Structure 1
Amino acid sequence: MKAIILAGGRGTRYWPLSVQRKPKQFTNLHSYKTMIQETYDRFRKWLPMENIYVVTTKEYYSLVTEQLPELNEQQIIIEPEPKDTGPCVALTAIHFLKQNDDEVLVMAPSDQYISDGDALMEYLLVAEKVAQKGTSIVTLGVTPNRPETGYGYIEGMKDGMNEGEVLRVKSFIEKPSLDKAEKLLQMENIFWNSGIFIWKPSTIAYYMQKNQQTIWKMLNENQWEERYSQLPKISVDYAILEHAEDVYTLPVTFEWDDLGSWNSLERILQVDKEGNLLLGDVHSSFTQNCTILSKNRKTLVIGAENLIIVVTDDGVLVCDKSKENEIKKFVQKFSDDKM
């Protein structure tokens, strides 16, 4: 098995800690290591170094080599510019197929929290056996513990497979409304889509040729790098998964979080008796239920409630927790220079 770490995202929800020149996967968000280093170490515990690859954009190549100096050039797959996960996954498959290498790949985001790396390994070994068969795709599914509106969901069903608790995917469910999320929580065989996929390069090729012929053809042409900007932005969910017939999910029991927003940090880090999460040189008084991070400067917060406050050299964010979803929309209106 090979591990492919997807590290080309921008992480705009974490502005101003995450900015275009250094997005969140290259920051130490909740430990002394950066998120991509934690992801690499998680795989390195049980995979040889030469079996771990990173896919990133040209813009972040130097950050990858700086933070993961163990990797050689052949282990860093370069996407000319971000086009979402569909083209990125296809490009990765082509990289290995050109070397006549059809070993199973586990593709994982670089910015997730996973509580138990050993348990992850055990699940991936089960998933690998399924992924080796035909054109099977395996996802890791997380049992929901709250009505989450920020994740996609998977509905599974049993179909007689013998590889552990693997379920056939009946449907993928888009990020739901709160009402729908609460109903999903009451159903059986419903899981969060972890975004971790296990499959062979030839499986990716099969589904891309079947469902995304234009993208696949262009990526296999000699001048594909010059034409990459013409490709549509499309997620792997839309490009492949929602059209595939042999998709399975393996329910996992370890703690998982995609750390997609500031509020998610409260789920993995301890808050104080006032409900505050204080990171950096932060001091608070008469303050409740706030997430406050300060980089490289002393920060005093007095009389605040239900706020996200972030202070870095790139800017200052003050946001009501209930409006957190507006951060990405607002940041996207501006370039980093204007911010």
Structure 2
Amino acid sequence: MLDKKIAIVYDWLDKWGGVERVLLTFYEMFPEATFFTSYFDPKKAGWAKDLKIKTSFIQYLPKIIRENRIASFPFYPYAFESFNFNDYELVISVTSSFAKSIITQPKTKHICYLLTPTRFLWSHQKDYFKENIFNKNYLEYLKQWDLAAAQRPDKIFSISETAKNRCKKYYHRDSEVIYPPFDTEYWRSLSSRPKWRDLIKKIPRLASLARNDRGVRKKYFLIVSRLEPYKKIDLAINVFNKLNDNLVIVGEGSEENNLRRISGGNITFFKKITDEELGYLYSNAQALIMPQEEDFGYISLEAQFFGCPAISYKKGGALETVIEGKTGIFFDKQSENSLRKAVERFAKIKYNLRTNTRKHGEENVKRFSKETFINNFRNVISSEVDLPTDRQGNLKKIPRRFAPRDDGGCVMKAIIFAGGTGTRLWPLSRKKSPKQFEKLIGNKSTLQLAVERLLPDFQYEDIYISSNSLYKESIKEQLPQIPEKNLILEPEKKDVAPAIALSVGIIAKTDPNEPIAILWSDHLVKEVHVFRKILKVAAEEIKKNPNKIIFITHKPRFASINLGYIHFGKKIREVNGISFHEFKNIKYRPDEKTAKTFFNSGEYAWNLGYFVTTPQFILKAFRKLAPEIYANTEKILACYGKKIFPDILKTKYGQVKNISFDNAILEKLAKEEAMVIVEDIGWSDVGSWEALKEALESHSYENVIRGKVYLEHVRDSLIYNYQDDKLIVGVDLDENIIVNTNDVILIAKKNSMPKVKNLVENFTGTKHEKHI
């Protein structure tokens, strides 16, 4: 009945693909159902944000363990067995691994929708365990446990005949086939094919596929897949590395870095792609390449619907979805030679095959319609539960939620630059441990705070740190969540232009047209919610206008002579309360008179060094405006991902011209290439003790203290004590800076602080050099 409680159980909610479309169909069927899963990542599975979700203890394991399937799978049996379904009348487990292992009482009916038996224990164990990571006896124990768990469902329905045969082979259980749902109505809404010039305006990151260097539209083959070992994507890459044809790979997974490393220049990767973009890719691809043995082959149905034939391995679910000669062709062996011959055969028949696919593809997918799927499951569970219907008896429609990145976060990357030495914050900031790694504010460094204010809108894997190789261990210690591959480390200290060229060039290897934010590690931002909003709005604008740069500036609080300024013009438009202004020019640090003029005019904003653009825009700017830097950086980047890269970086980076990014690029930009956002984000550059005091004080005569400090009749001073066993006592002091570290005590008047930098520099070559 309608008041009966229903649960849907899935292995993990952390991605988007064909199975996730099945889950959303179940959501349409059972809008009040509770979804149980081992863990839920809202950043990677934004499509599930409206579901009622319950997770297991795995949700709270360290991310590095949780997201490594192989390292964490010993936990999964206990995770799913820990769920309590006593209050539920019907439970549907959707699984390719552990979800079927739930334990239910006799009153609760458990139906399993089997995608495949646990592949890394049975059909594809060699693909996952190329090394003896686990003891053979332990793997045998897991297989016996998995076999026992497969006996728990009251009934099993398999996703395909292939999965049905595996179920019988490995689990010794009979099952019936219910093919997964293909939503023709939804995909038809995306099947219009505009002219390429209109497409590129709408989806800029596909621009690289629009034309080659001769102005001719590029022809490409397509792979759409999870990038996992059993998918055999490396097989296709090895083949296309030897061909002249382009290959586009869409997907994410544990093998991504390895696959990128072995790919040639004719192979392009896309990830976090929308269904609209995917539809365009299918429509214009030569053919879909399927080198893997599929459980079902949902991707081939998507391709056929858009008139794209498949070149598929002749085994598994593809035999049920691809029609030889009408919607695709097969190759017999999972080998480079067999796939290459299939591609060559396709070249001879492609016009006829593409015509046949456009003719038969949409008709073929009707066999797997969403309506058929719903009716089949309706018949299965009709005695257990009623489905919600309208007055005419039709299934009630739920608003579609098929946007894989509809997560409210920023679809972009961020580079935080953290390579400065910070001599103005001596004696806390030293060469071996600069200011960005020291605890200036509370118990966190400014680098940690810079990363923290990007969360949760950014994923850790989308945050890059640019710094000096000397500080690698400090970064890893303070930010263990950031992947080590995201640390872009200079072999020697350079100005900002070479650092940006290197960092942006590396990110461009992944996605040259995805928005990036350039940020700095030694700043304080108090209005974090405004800052995050600006990044989101700027990212969306750059997605529409990838050939621009958006400066994020700050309304000046006073006429500063220590900051640069950006001259902005009239407001262009406003988005979600954030205004975009015309860009006029950049002004370096002015003298006192000019600074007052800027401040009083209301047309100048502080240049924070923050901006949002695309890697492609920055690289084009270097090629045009700083060709020497571009040429040297390209030589370095040509070796990225190869074993020789560290050595090449070490020898070639020193040859890159040492110049600021403002001088090399920003000061030369045309007005139409930039826009300006002017907002108050509570920003401060905490690059000196007096600046830190100003940022933290509520009024000018207030004292800012840290550690054990006792004061009487002291005003407008900063006293930082970093020794727990020592007390600093101050009496009758005004406008002082006192900093106590283990080996140095600094005592100075506020207005004398500029002299400290010169004093420290004079330590070089003396007995005090060890304190620098």
- TM tier, shorter chain? over 0.9
C-alpha spacing 1:313/1:232, structure 2 compared with 1 (3 Å): farther
Q: Which has the higher helix share?
A: 2
Q: Report what 1:230 is aligned to.
A: 655
Are 1:117 and 2:528 counterparts?
A: yes
Are 1:253 and 2:680 counterparts?
A: yes
Alpha-carbon displacement from aligned partner over 1:3-61 (angstroms, at most 9, x marks no partner) = 11111111111000111111111111011111111111111221122111111110011
Q: How far does residue 224 in structure 1 lie from its aligned partner after superposition? A: 4.0
Q: Report what 1:39 is aligned to.
A: 450
CA–CA distance in structure 1, aligned partners of residues 656 and 456 of structure 2: 36
CA–CA distance in structure 2, aligned partners of residues 90 and 270 of structure 1: 37
Q: Which runs of 5+ in 2 are unaligned?
A: 1-411, 637-647
**Residue in structure 2 matching 1:192, options 606, 609, 613:** 606
Are 1:99 and 2:510 counterparts?
A: yes
C-alpha spacing 1:298/1:277, structure 2 compared with 1 (3 Å): same
Are 1:138 and 2:550 counterparts?
A: yes
User: Secondary structure, in 3 states, of the residue corresponding to 2:618?
Assistant: helix
Query: Where does 1:263-278 land on structure 2 (aligned, <5 Å)?
Result: 263-270=690-697, 275-278=702-705
**Residue in structure 1 matching 2:484, options 69, 73, 77:** 73
Whether the 8 Å contact between 1:96 and 1:102 is mirrored in structure 2 is no
CA–CA distance in structure 1, aligned partners of residues 439 and 600 of structure 2: 36
Q: Report what 1:303 is aligned to.
A: 732
Q: How far does residue 72 in structure 1 lie from its aligned partner after superposition? A: 1.6
Q: Report what 1:329 is aligned to.
A: 758
Q: Which residue identity does 2:562 align to in structure 1?
A: G
C-alpha spacing 1:42/1:159, structure 2 compared with 1 (3 Å): closer
CA–CA distance in structure 2, aligned partners of residues 110 and 101 of structure 1: 24
User: Secondary structure, in 3 states, of the residue corresponding to 1:158?
Assistant: strand
Whether the 8 Å contact between 2:628 and 2:657 is mirrored in structure 1 is no
CA–CA distance in structure 2, aligned partners of residues 127 and 239 of structure 1: 23
Q: Which residue identity does 1:156 align to in structure 2?
A: F
**Residue in structure 2 matching 1:294, options 721, 733, 740:** 721
CA–CA distance in structure 2, aligned partners of residues 73 and 103 of structure 1: 21
Q: Which runs of 5+ in 1 are unaligned?
A: none
C-alpha spacing 1:234/1:333, structure 2 compared with 1 (3 Å): farther
**Residue in structure 1 matching 2:567, options 155, 173, 183:** 155
CA–CA distance in structure 1, aligned partners of residues 555 and 625 of structure 2: 30
Whether the 8 Å contact between 1:17 and 1:314 is mirrored in structure 2 is no
Alpha-carbon displacement from aligned partner over 1:191-217 (angstroms, at most 9, x marks no partner) = 101111111111110111111111111
C-alpha spacing 1:172/1:313, structure 2 compared with 1 (3 Å): same
CA–CA distance in structure 2, aligned partners of residues 272 and 168 of structure 1: 35
CA–CA distance in structure 1, aligned partners of residues 518 and 762 of structure 2: 31
Q: Report what 1:212 is aligned to.
A: 626
Whether the 8 Å contact between 1:271 and 1:277 is mirrored in structure 2 is no
> What is the Cα-based RMSD across aligned positions, in Å?
2.1
Higher relative contact order (CA 8 A, sep 6+): 1
Alpha-carbon displacement from aligned partner over 1:277-297 (angstroms, at most 9, x marks no partner) = 222212223433221111113
Q: Higher mean Cα deviation, 235-244 or 56-65?
A: 235-244
Q: How far does residue 275 in structure 1 lie from its aligned partner after superposition? A: 3.2
User: Secondary structure, in 3 states, of the residue corresponding to 2:715?
Assistant: coil
Q: How far does residue 338 in structure 1 lie from its aligned partner after superposition? A: 5.3
**Residue in structure 1 matching 2:581, options 167, 176, 182:** 167
**Residue in structure 2 matching 1:49, options 460, 471, 476:** 460
Whether the 8 Å contact between 2:554 and 2:679 is mirrored in structure 1 is yes
CA–CA distance in structure 1, aligned partners of residues 756 and 700 of structure 2: 27
User: Secondary structure, in 3 states, of the residue corresponding to 1:268?
Assistant: helix
User: Secondary structure, in 3 states, of the residue corresponding to 1:287?
Assistant: strand
C-alpha spacing 1:338/1:34, structure 2 compared with 1 (3 Å): closer
CA–CA distance in structure 1, aligned partners of residues 623 and 666 of structure 2: 13
Q: How far does residue 125 in structure 1 lie from its aligned partner after superposition? A: 1.7
Whether the 8 Å contact between 1:157 and 1:168 is mirrored in structure 2 is yes
Alpha-carbon displacement from aligned partner over 1:57-105 (angstroms, at most 9, x marks no partner) = 1001100000000112211111112212111110011102233443111
Question: Could you say which structure has the larger radius of gyration?
Answer: 2
Are 1:8 and 2:419 counterparts?
A: yes
CA–CA distance in structure 1, aligned partners of residues 663 and 749 of structure 2: 32
Are 1:244 and 2:669 counterparts?
A: yes
CA–CA distance in structure 2, aligned partners of residues 144 and 278 of structure 1: 27
Q: Higher mean Cα deviation, 260-269 or 52-61?
A: 260-269
CA–CA distance in structure 2, aligned partners of residues 271 and 160 of structure 1: 35
CA–CA distance in structure 1, aligned partners of residues 470 and 456 of structure 2: 28
User: Secondary structure, in 3 states, of the residue corresponding to 1:157?
Assistant: strand
Q: How far does residue 232 in structure 1 lie from its aligned partner after superposition? A: 3.4
Q: TM-score, normalised by structure 1?
A: 0.93
Are 1:20 and 2:403 counterparts?
A: no
CA–CA distance in structure 1, aligned partners of residues 520 and 621 of structure 2: 21
CA–CA distance in structure 2, aligned partners of residues 267 and 34 of structure 1: 18
CA–CA distance in structure 2, aligned partners of residues 119 and 333 of structure 1: 42
Whether the 8 Å contact between 1:54 and 1:76 is mirrored in structure 2 is yes
CA–CA distance in structure 2, aligned partners of residues 144 and 34 of structure 1: 25
Q: Aligned pair count?
A: 339
User: Secondary structure, in 3 states, of the residue corresponding to 1:220?
Assistant: helix
Whether the 8 Å contact between 1:18 and 1:24 is mirrored in structure 2 is yes
Q: Which residue identity does 2:582 align to in structure 1?
A: R
Q: How far does residue 176 in structure 1 lie from its aligned partner after superposition? A: 1.8
